[in-house]
Each structure stands twice: as C-alpha cells, then as structure tokens.
Structure 1
Amino acid sequence: MKYCLSLICGLLLSSLAYSQADTTQKFDPSTRNSAVQEKKPYVIMISIDGFRYDYAERHNAEHLKALGEAGVHATSMIPSYPSITFPNHYTLVTGLYPAHHGLVQNYFYDRNFKASYSYKSKTATEGKWYGGIPLWVLAERQQMLSASSYWVGSEADVQGQYPTYYYKYNEQIGINDRIQTVVNWLKQPAERRPHLITFYFPEVDHQGHKYGPDAPETDKAVHFVDSAIYELTKAVKTTGLDVNFVVVSDHGMTNVNREHTPVTPSIALDTTKFIRADEGELIHLYAKKPEYIQPAYDEIKAQAKGYQVYLRSDIPAAWHYGAKDDWHNRIGDILLVANWPTAFNNYKGKLNPGAHGYDPAVVKDMHAIFYAWGPNFKKNLTIPAFKNVDIYPMIVALLGLENKDKIDGTNELADKVLANKK
C-alpha cells in the first residue's frame, strides 16, 4: 500500500510539474517581413552544447560529417574566455566577447544593479542583463522576422525586443515536435516566415559533464543529435525552400582530475567580505569593501597551489576579460583560475568527470565546431580554426542585414565561406 501511495504521489507530482511547464509558443502577431526582406536567404543556426571539436570524428557523427564536408567545416572554432555556456552562446549571436556583452559567467554579480545573475533564476530573462545587439534584435529592427527554438537571451526583452516566434526553455518538448515547429515556421506565408531560426541541443553537454567526453553515454548523445539534425534537414526540404544551415557549439569538454582539487583559501569563502561567483574552473570574488581586496589577494597568492590568482586589473589581456574590458562592471575584484585539468569543489559531492571553462588558447579540448552548408555557402571547403566572435558578422552578411554597432568580430570568416564573397 505504501508503494502504491508513493507511486500515485510521484505520478501526481510529475503531472503537476508537466502541467506547470510552459510549452506554449510565444509570438508577435503584428510583425511582418518587409518586401525587401522577403527576398533574403534563410538560415537555421544550430548549437550543440558541449560538442567538442573532434567529437564528429571520435564518435562517428556520420550525418554531420557528410553535410559539413559537402559544404564548409573548420578544423575547430575557438571559444571566447571563459569557455562556458551562457557567455559563449551570447557571444555567437552578438559578436562580442563576454566582458563586452555582459554575460561573464553562468553566475556573476553586477555592481551597478547590486544584484546577482544566475542562468537558473527567473530574473535571467530580464533584458537588463544582456548587452549588445543579438541577431534576432538586429533582424527584427530591420523588418526581418526571426524565431528561436531556444538560445541564450532569446527569452529576454533585449532592448524591448523578442524574436517574432520563440519558446521558453523546456526540455520536455520532444525533438520531433521541435522539428515540426521549424517546418511550420517555414511554411508560413512569406510575410510571416522567419528568415533567421536559432535551435539548441543540450544533450551532449549533459552527458559529457555527467560521464566524461569518452563515455558511451556521450557517444549515444552525439548520435542522437547527429540523427536529429539529419531529420531536421529532411523535414526542411519538404517546405521547398532552399535553406542555409550553420552548426556550431559553445565549447568543448575535457576529463577532470577529480582526485586532486585545489584548496580554496578560507578568505575566498568569507561571505562577510566577499560575494563569490563559483563555476568550479573559475571563481570571481567581489569585495564588499575596497579595503578587503589587496590583503585578500596577498593571502590567496601566498597560498596558491594548483591555480592562478589575478587582480581585476591584471587579468591577461588576451582573454578580453580584465578591468579595461569590463564594460558592465561584472568582473570580480579577484579571480581564482584552476589549472587544467583540475577544478575547485566548494560544494557537496564529487566533481563531475567532464568539465569546461578553461583557456581555449591553452586547452585544445575547449575548442568547438563549425559546419555550414546551403545555397549561400561554398562547397567542399575546410578552413583553419577561427574565433567565435566572427560568427555574428558572417550571419549578418548572409542575411544581408546592416550592423552599425561596435563588435569584436571581423568579416574574415564571411569572406572565406560565403559563396557570394570573393
């Protein structure tokens, strides 16, 4: 009887959780493509979270390899520092380094707002957190419709603008339904049809963290996504539209040494003096009073073993992450950076076997992927590694949009891969 009651309660709780999950499409019925924009290309930009640069070969993602080889693919794509999910997803759609667009970690503190950001918080959809002009905002402002089947920032009112069509993040919506949604978008009348669609897969990152990059579970996740992308391309063909595809990832994944973790100095854990934003591979310390900074830095520096410690003013320039780059006042006064392949562990339980967040200039495992194919891309082209800030200007050029805002990306990628570029 106890088992039956527990089972019934479990089913009721599951049903309640499902009923409370928001699976409804959000859309603006008032927007229209302009006559000029109706003639522009279509692009579906797909991100596979945590898909390392060598996963397609290592795990034999046959569909992705074939599609990419017929179009354009890079030996790797270099994430921005830190190689973390939210910062890099937003870099891909703004062309700005994390300290420039404001999402400096998945968790951080904003001195101006006197508030903390967490990607898990309901307040993460407030537009105030998001700098730059994401692709969908740029498109909508120029009367080109956009849609999002999940992407960092797409649920936020960035400068008062959303994609015309979008969903709140919800992993309960199955892949077949998500594919059908894309088809439905592309079957809209020309004036209501999105030309920019973003699409996100979380599965590979989930399994890579939980089991490690070489585990059978990660292999299975790679094949799931590989098959899903193939099914998506087949489904899109039924619309009769000639659509471009861009497949990227935010970062890679590496095996973590879980037996030897750096010891976090007690001063870094002192909540009376510091606010701590802890990612494991990287810790930001925000001083509650300026006079706490130097003594704490000196103490941490003296104890540093297995990690590097920096003052905000001394962070390596190559990271574009220090005081001079901190456009939104969100970089910690002190940074603790774990040496690869270790990570800090200031929470209960053992570290996951897979991790990211390290310097991609030093740790190749952090590198991501780039595949692209379609009518506006060159054929049978392999290009060397490039920085992910160049994705934004490439998509802007592909869609024929105009960007007048300052970005960190260049047109180098667009010039190499777009068919109409020399």
Structure 2
Amino acid sequence: MINKKSIDAIEKNRDSIKKFTKPDFKKYCFANIPGTISKLLGLNLNYSHLPEDTVGEYKTYKKVVFMFIDAFGWSFFERYKDQYPALKKLINNGIVSKITSQFPSTTSAHVTTIHTGKSVAESGVYEWFYYEPEVDDIIMPLLNSYARNTKSLLNDGYENNKLYPENNFYKKLKENGKNVYTYQPSRIIGSTYNDYILKDAEKIGFKTLSEGLIKLKNDIKTKDGLFFYYYPEIDSICHSYGPNSEEFDGEVHNFLTLLNDIFIEKLNSEDTAILISADHGQAYVDIQKPYYINIEIPEIENYIQKNKKGNLIVPSGSCRDFFLHIKPEYEDFVLNLLKEKLKNIADVRKTKDMMNEGYFGYNISEKFEKKVGNLVILAYEDNSVWWYEKGTFEVFLKGMHGGLFSEEMEIPFIFYNK
C-alpha cells in the first residue's frame, strides 16, 4: 500500500513557489531510520523512530535488512512504480511511505547517520566538501583527503576520531547482542572512512550488483541481526548523464530487475523485515549556465574568511547548497548582495536562522557549528551556483543534489515482510 498519510505530511513541508521541502525531523525523516531499525530488532535505544504507519506496527524481527539505494528519490519511485515487478510487489505486499532527506541532502550526511545513529547536525559530517577546523582546510570526508588534492588526512597525522563521530549505533546494537553486517562495493568498503565508521560491523564486499544481492540473500538464511546493503551506481550514473537520460533508465532497470529476480523472489523469511530507502534524489542541472560567484562577483573574495595560511575558506557544500564562510562584519552586506545578484537563480539564507528553524535537526553540536558556513546559497530547479577553479571546482555533473529542491529532498521508505 501507499501510505497517503506520509505523503500528506510531506506536502505540508513543501514551499509551493520555490518547490523547496523542509526536512521533517520530528516524524518522516531519514534521521529516524536508525531508531526504526533498533525498534524492529526489539531494542529500546532511545533513538527517535519513524511513525508506526510506516511499518504497519512495531513488531520484533530476528533480521532487519536495510537497503540504502543511493539517489533513488521519490520522483524516481513514482516514475518506475508501475513498470517493474519489484516495485509492484513492494507496494501490494508492503508499505511505501514518503519521507524526507536530512538537509543537506547528501550521501556524506546520510551514510554517517545510518552507521552512527547521529543526525547531520550531531555528526558534523554534512557534505562532500566542507571546512574542517581540525585541518584548517576544505576536505572531502568520505575520501579522507584534502579537497584540492588526494593527499590522505590520516597520513598527515589527522586522527579519525577527530574527523568522524564515534560509531555509537552499531556499537550499541553489538552490546545488545545484535550483529551487524554491511555489504558495499569492494572498491569502497576498505576506505579509511569505512574502516573507522564500521569498526563494530562485519564488512562484506562485492564486485557486481548480482554478487552483492546473492551474498546478502544467502547470509540472511543463516544469520540474525542487521544487514546493511549499499548500492551507489544509480547515483553515479545520474550524476554523469542526468536523471532524464537513457543511461539512467538503464541502470534503474538493471537494479530493479535483479532486485526482483535474485532477492525478492528468492527470499522467504517471516522473521525478516526488509527496509528500502535512499539518502536523496537528484535534480537535473543545466551545465550550460553555471553561476560562478568568484567570476560574476570577483569582489566576493574580500569578504570571505581565511585560514591560518592566508587561504580563502572556500568552497563548502556543492553547487546546490553552497555554504560560505563570510567575515562576520560583512555577513548582512553579503547576504543582501547575493540576494540581489542571484534573484530567480537561488535563495540565500543565514545558516543560523536555518538552525533555529530546524532545518538541520534539533541537536546542533558545537562541532557542526564550527564547520558550517554562516551563509548558504540554495539553487532553484535546474540552476547551479558554485566556485570556479579550473580542473578542481567546476559544474559538470548533469544530475546533482544537496539542496532543498523537492526532487532532492523527498525519498521513499519501503517496509516489506514476506
């Protein structure tokens, strides 16, 4: 069934003019999935959870499978739901709810949340690029590297416990007798980030989609606990070719076909709850019209904060959610300047106001406040606003996410028990 109650709730959070959707942290939000998982495993770990209508009722299961399908947002679910047996079965025999991403609508934020149980504002890991005070530079947290080169932060002496939050969710599951198994592509499962953040889980790599689904299916037959499955290729293809491309359709076809034939059709376990969701959707970006603020407004450099080396602290976020570290005395001036220059292209807001309004959740950590810029530029529809450094920072991806546009923020949450 389609959970209409959830759809109605999310529509109330959407601005009809800007088409921005505010995250629903109190109810229908990705941040509440760790609590939902623990509750379905029969544990009370004091995490917030999704409303009961998303799972029918809270019963205890020996096994919970969480399939994290990167970028498979609600708009894509709507597009394909009548075309594929997998989605038809999940609708007819399960519960499909609409929930929101956290903001920023990024993979960095959401993989950290699902592994640690911490919301984006608690973990401080919020984007692909951001300023890290411990390093005093812009970094790429998931790659454990500087933004302007691939040099390892760990090799430079920056310890993981200073860069990433403590993995308390999987640790708590383990302490309560629940094993955790994580399935990810072999090329990323052994990353510095994963080595630290998944230290209380068993890591299983796979080279192909079919191999991963077969490993997952077979392990469910003999093991109990939480099974986390991550599939990134829909996101990757969507970035490269855009959400309306033949290549994207092909990758979704591949995933949904094998999901049905290898996994859903072959799995028969009443004590297993299957949950499927995404971290975000994607919006089409017109790469022919990027707005580079350091080119269009060169004087902006005079107002941006610098690190101890004298380098500008820029850019943080993405071309959909560009966080700026503006010198405090110029904050209002730059806010008004950008609002004027970016009219009909993007919204510009103070992050402090957004914190107070609950856009980042309700437990704002000191770590997050130190990392995030004081202004944020939020692109409308197919627009992009970014920083230009040839070969390093450019707008070239036809599909993007990170902002508040409804196609980025609205995602499915599927509950299924065969």
2:63 aligned residue (42, 49, 53) = 42
Give the Cα separation in 2 of the matches to 1:219 and 1:303: 36
Judging changes above 3 Å, is the alpha-carbon distance between structure 1 residues 153 and 274 closer, same or farther for their aligned structure 2 residues?
closer
Equivalence for 2:382: 341
Show the counterpart of 1:166.
Answer: 203
Instruction: List alignment gaps of at least 5 residues for structure 2.
Output: 1-41, 44-59, 145-151
- Give TM-score scaled by structure 1 length: 0.65
- Paired position in structure 2 for 1:356: 401
**Partners of 1:96 and 1:71 in 2: how far apart?**
27
Asked if residue 65 in structure 1 is aligned to residue 88 in structure 2, the reply is yes
- Residues in 1 aligned to 2:103 and 2:130: alpha-carbon distance in whole angstroms: 15
Return closer, same or farther for 1:228/1:345 CA change in 2, 3 Å cut-off: same
1:191-237 deviation line (CA, Å, top 9, x unaligned):
xx341010011121122222222222111111111123221234544
Q: Deviations over 1:30-80 (max 9, x none)?
A: xxxxxx99x951011001111121323423232123123201111x22111
Q: Partners of 1:81 and 1:112 in 2: how far apart?
A: 23
1:106 aligns with 2:128: yes
Deviation at 1:330, TM superposition (A): 1.5
CA distance in 2, matches of 1:266, 1:324: 36
* 1:91 partnered with 2:122: no
**Residue equivalent to 1:250:** 279
Aligned CA-pair RMSD: 3.5
Q: Give the corresponding residue for 2:34.
A: none
Using structure 2 for the length normalisation, give the TM-score.
0.66
Aligned position for 2:211: 177
Q: Superposition pairs for residues 135-154 of structure 1, below 5 Å?
A: 135-150=169-184
Question: Counterparts of 1:102 and 1:92 in 2: how far apart (Å)?
Answer: 14
CA distance in 1, matches of 2:212, 2:161: 25
Q: 1:350, 1:332 → 2: CA distance?
A: 20
The one-letter code of the counterpart of 2:383 is T
* Change in CA separation of 1:263 and 1:106 when aligned onto 2, cut-off 3 Å: closer
Deviation string 1:323-347 (CA, Å, 9 cap, x unpaired) is 9835312211332222333112434
> C-alpha distance in 2, partners of 1:164/1:261?
41
Measure, in 2, the Cα distance between the counterparts of 1:103 and 1:297: 25
Q: What is the rounded CA distance, in whole Å, between the counterparts of 1:92 and 1:322 in structure 2?
A: 15
Partner of 2:313: 274
One-letter code aligned to 1:333 = N
Q: Where does structure 1 lack aligned partners over 5 or more consecutive residues?
A: 1-35, 376-422
Question: Partner letter of residue 176 of structure 1?
Answer: S
1:280–1:215 distance in 2 versus 1, CA, 3 Å: same
Q: Does 1:370 align with 2:413?
A: yes
Write the deviation string for residues 244-301 of structure 1: whole angstroms up to 9, x where unpaired. 21010111122223343334133555664433224111222335x7667566556545
Question: Percent identity between the aligned chains?
Answer: 19
For 1:322 and 1:178, locate their aligned partners in 2 and report how far apart those are by CA, in whole Å.
33
Cα pair distance change 1:259/1:149, threshold 3 Å: same
